[in-house]
Amino acid sequence: MSSSQTSSSGILLVDKPKGVTSHDVVSCARGLLHTKRVGHAGTLDPMATGLLILGFGNATRLLNYLLGHDKTYEAVIRLGESTNTDDADGDVVSSVNDENGILNSANTDEILKELRCVVAKNFTGHIMQTPTAFSAIKINGVRAYDLAREGKDVHLEPREVVIHDFSLLDARFNVGVSGVKVVDVRASVSCSSGTYIRALARDLGRVLGVGGHLVSLRRTRIGEFSVEDSRVLKLETRIRTFTDKNGVTQTRAKAVVADRHDSISDYFSGSASGSSVAGDLSVDSSCKKSVQKNYDLQNRVLSMFESAKLTMQTVEISENQAKDLRFGRKIVIPAINEKNIIAYVKAEKDVQNDVVAVLETAEKSPATAGGSSAFSKSQEKNEKNTNQIEAKPIVVFVQS
């Protein structure tokens, strides 16, 4: 396979800034990569920052498999106020003057001690979580956030999520939007896919009886991918001002490449104030210069093979097996205890390995007689050798 696959297909890790949507980031990447075939794995709300995985070319077909990976977030949770969206973008709907409760503890060390007990009891391991009403979950084909914005009742069923770690790192007293005393708690959360950190903030406030919402969110990890990777492309938000065809001045937020992007730790180091955690948005009426610069994308992009290895387990196959897969035929591979794996052909030196297909392995059935096995009667023969298993292609990649 030619080395051109590095530039035509792969994954680009992006540090998303506050104030733009995940789609805005995709639009930026399309311009930088000169292709429309770009997608992302795991949406980040406009208020959130951090790791966004972009796939382009053949790698867009890996993105669905990345959605199920565990994630790690850094968050600031405000206790003492609740909002209708469970985050800082919403309107305050309740606030508590907690004269004798946790918000009026003598110091933040006492608050953290009590909070850690509450978290350990209620928010670790397997828990049932009701997603926030302002979520992308569909109800009868309509997004929940669209129904919520129209003022309609949104009923979402609780679902099981897994909180692997919920560490409370720091806390400080503050004054909320409503003017009441609040406590802002900085936390790190590692969790299963599908966990809503906004819902964690909301539910923590409810358990304490003071209300809570998410002030800031930064995603630092998705599976094996980290925002600390030196290849991460840092973006910033710029406000573009223009006059439309009706003569009305319009402003739009746009994601552009930046040399630096502030982290959530700046909130506690004093560079941010009030509820504005990620800092001010820079203003640029042109935004064209960012596309014209050379950001060394070739060295930032993860190759198709590296992207595959970080997405799921891989297995090396022969050229003949690769041909069979690309014709839709099953192959026999070494037994692997994974439902889905990626098959590749090892290439010669200085040439990228050929990522061939995502495979689905056959389930070993106790009753294989009469052709009732997962794939075919041939599986029974293959299973006589416990070191082999039959696999079929479910996603086939075009050879580059």
Catalytic residues: 45
Q: Angle 197-208/108-122 helices, nearest 10 degrees?
A: 110
Cβ neighbours around 329 below 10 Å, total:
11
DSSP per-residue codes, 51-115 = EEEEEEGGGGGGHHHHTTS-EEEEEEEEESEEETTSBTTS-EEEE---TTSGGG-SSHHHHHHHH
Asked if residue 343 lies in contact with residue 388, where contact means CB atoms within 8 angstroms, the answer is no
Residue 315, token pair as written in the block: 């297995």
What is the Cα Rg of the chain in Å? 25
Which amino acid belongs to residue 264?
A: I
Beta-strand relationship, 282-283 and 233-243: parallel
Residues facing residue 127 across a β-bridge: 161
Residues facing residue 56 across a β-bridge: 10, 38
